[in-house]
């Protein structure tokens, strides 16, 4: 159990406590060795700073507690140029979530101290810029063991060549053997798997694929569908591209991931995003609509030190002390009907009659009026002044007695590289803005999918608790790169008791979960664990 405290603002988690596992020894399996992630990986006792800044200040930082968050007092460098549109929207989002983050931090600070999770800043903590945790994260581990291993391996894969294989304690494999397969460990205790003589801890009752996206497409029928899908994509970043830390994934590639093959009806989808506004926009405006996922909530993960202070100043524009989670529910195609120019009628006896007109015929359809209305508006401000863009278009795109609504998204072309593709099947783009229709011509039969509980009331598959918005997860982060806190203890309230869970782009395994990624074992190396009594 990773949850220490739960309040209306969110959850205080202990990631380190969650990492305990037991490995069977001997033929009977009655004896077990307990392992846990190294304590030093979580020994983050001071805020994150560059070594040069640490040496310059001697490790003494001026900070104050305001509204439960750390605010830097250092002099701010004056910008020579104003913020661009993307930066302005990112700052607006930050101001929206800041109050929720600070409120949660304040509420958990006292509870975390009383429980012993947070240390009292009594001066006994080492003042060495978190050297212990940084050294632990720099251990040999798997390093580049899997780098280049997957190049070209998916080209010759077939479904029959992607078998389901079992793992047992002490199994030894070559690195070439671990790819292109669905691996599962059915034991009730963890196992140690040796790959090229390197030890990896495999949690109990877990399944994983170490492979490229092509393997996922092939392996989807083997994996089945899931009730919880967590995605942590390797988002494109200029700094990552410059340093060549890992392979990034473009938006077009992410849209090609076959999520529909992995999601059960009502599946809860959680996407980790960086603090770049364009990534949040992509998920909520393109990925979710394309995959028929309704965005229900936005949460934040606040990273704090062992004394409870945020790892960075809350208003630090270079790098925020929090990350964002976007949560949504999936409605499968059985809840959707194809529509275009012709009305779509529902008959309980005859089923659904669907129209098959091409998108080119839209120019002769009622949507033509919406296009004219959009063209006559001189700016996005004028458009919004006359009502929300969705409402305005629906007024001109709805025929009485027919399901003729069409979903549109208004986006600003001034966002620059935030928009990779600006084509639309309406063939209409303005200088300031453009109208992007929904990726496929569907409309839901009813609006009951909007609530996290209402969309599930007829399935009986999931919990019927609404997913709250603006919740905050607070925890001391692991110093391993891109290591996220465990989410199951937080999300299980919104899932069925025996929910099937899957993490994509994973860098570690979890008990009872299915994990997929090209570095899915990198955080499972035994170097990052220690035996405990």
Segment-wise mean pLDDT, segments of 10 residues, the chain, 533 residues: 92 96 76 93 83 64 47 56 84 94 94 91 71 83 77 53 84 89 92 96 95 76 92 78 60 90 96 93 96 97 95 89 97 48 35 36 37 37 37 34 35 36 34 36 32 37 73 96 94 94 96 94 95 88
- Per CATH, which fold does 145-300+315-335+452-474+487-527 belong to? Rossmann fold (3.40.50)
Say how far apart CA 323 and CA 274 lie, in whole Å.
6
What separation in angstroms does the CA of 312 have from each of 50, 71, 138, 320, 351? 12, 8, 21, 7, 57
Measured in degrees and rounded to the nearest 5, phi and psi for residue 210 equal: -100, 100
Q: What DSSP string describes 1-31? A: --EEEEETTEEEE-HHHHT-EEEEETTT--E
Say how far apart CA 358 and CA 350 lie, in whole Å.
24
What separation in angstroms does the CA of 333 have from each of 306, 405, 439, 442? 47, 17, 14, 9
Cβ-based neighbour number of residue 227 at 10 Å: 22
Residue 79's pLDDT is: 62
Reported residue count of the chain is: 533
Residue 246's pLDDT is: 53
Cβ-based neighbour number of residue 82 at 10 Å: 7
Cβ-based neighbour number of residue 231 at 10 Å: 20
Helices then strands, each counted (H, E), the chain: 14, 26
Q: Do residues 155 and 162 touch, judged by C-beta distance below 8 A?
A: no
pLDDT tens string 142-154: 877 887 776 655 5
pLDDT tens string 457-474: 334 444 457 899 999 999
Nearest alpha carbon to residue 283 among 479, 93, 47, 140? 93
Place of tokens 């750390």: 70
393 is written with which tokens?
């278009």
User: Where in the sequence of the chain do the CATH 3.40.50 domains occur?
Assistant: 145-300+315-335+452-474+487-527
Say how far apart CA 141 and CA 528 lie, in whole Å.
7
Cβ-based neighbour number of residue 250 at 10 Å: 12
Residue 263's pLDDT is: 96
Residue 221's pLDDT is: 80
Residue 140's pLDDT is: 79
pTM of the model: 0.73
Measured in degrees and rounded to the nearest 5, phi and psi for residue 393 equal: -70, -40
Nearest alpha carbon to residue 411 among 272, 252, 290, 286? 286
């Amino acid at each position: 159990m990773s949850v220490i405290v739960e309040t209306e603002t969110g959850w205080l988690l202990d990631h380190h406590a969650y990492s305990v596992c037991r490995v069977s020894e001997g033929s009977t399996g009655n004896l077990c060795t307990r392992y846990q992630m190294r304590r030093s990986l979580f020994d983050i006792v001071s805020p994150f700073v560059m070594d040069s800044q640490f040496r310059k200040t001697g490790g003494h930082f001026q900070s104050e507690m305001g509204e439960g968050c750390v605010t830097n007092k250092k002099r701010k460098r004056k910008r020579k140029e104003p913020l661009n549109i993307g930066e302005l929207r990112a700052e607006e989002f930050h101001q929206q979530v800041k109050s929720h983050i600070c409120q949660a931090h304040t509420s958990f600070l006292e509870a975390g101290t009383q429980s012993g999770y947070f240390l009292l800043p009594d001066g006994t903590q080492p003042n060495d810029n978190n050297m212990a945790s940084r050294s632990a994260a720099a251990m040999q581990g798997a390093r580049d063991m899997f780098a280049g291993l997957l190049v070209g391996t998916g080209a010759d894969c077939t479904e029959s060549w992607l078998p389901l294989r079992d793992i047992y304690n002490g199994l030894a494999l070559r690195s070439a053997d671990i790819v292109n397969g669905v691996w599962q460990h059915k034991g009730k205790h963890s196992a140690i798997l040796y790959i090229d003589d390197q030890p990896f801890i495999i949690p109990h009752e877990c399944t994983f694929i170490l492979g490229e996206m092509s393997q996922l497409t092939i392996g989807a029928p083997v994996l089945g569908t899931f009730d919880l899908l967590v995605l942590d994509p390797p988002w494109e970043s200029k700094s990552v591209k410059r340093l060549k830390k890992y392979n990034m994934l473009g938006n077009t590639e992410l849209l090609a991931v076959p999520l529909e093959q992995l999601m059960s009806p009502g599946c809860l989808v959680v996407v980790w995003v960086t603090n770049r506004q364009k990534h949040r926009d992509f998920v909520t405006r393109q990925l979710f609509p394309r995959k028929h996922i309704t965005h229900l909530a936005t949460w934040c993960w606040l990273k704090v030190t062992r004394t409870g202070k945020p790892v960075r100043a809350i208003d630090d524009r270079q790098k925020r002390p929090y990350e964002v989670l976007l949560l949504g529910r999936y409605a499968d195609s059985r809840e959707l009907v194809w529509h275009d120019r012709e009305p779509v009628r529902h008959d309980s006896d005859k089923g659904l009659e669907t129209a098959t007109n091409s998108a080119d015929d839209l120019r002769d359809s009622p949507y033509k009026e919406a296009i004219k209305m959009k063209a006559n508006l001189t700016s996005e401000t004028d458009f919004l002044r006359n009502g929300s863009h969705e409402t305005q278009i629906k007024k001109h795109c709805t025929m009485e007695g027919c399901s003729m609504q069409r979903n549109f998204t208004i986006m600003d072309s001034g966002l620059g590289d935030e928009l990779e593709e600006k084509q639309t099947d309406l063939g209409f783009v303005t200088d300031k803005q453009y109208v992007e229709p929904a990726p496929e011509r569907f409309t839901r039969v009813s609006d009951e999918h909007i609530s996290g509980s209402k969309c599930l009331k007829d399935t009986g598959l999931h919990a019927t608790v609404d997913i709250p918005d603006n919740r905050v997860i607070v925890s001391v982060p692991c110093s391993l790169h891109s290591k996220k806190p465990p989410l199951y203890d937080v999300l299980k309230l919104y899932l069925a008791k025996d929910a099937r869970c899957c993490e994509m782009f994973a860098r570690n395994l979890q008990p009872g979960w299915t994990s997929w990624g090209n570095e899915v074992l990198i955080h499972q190396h035994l170097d990052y664990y220690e035996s405990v009594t």
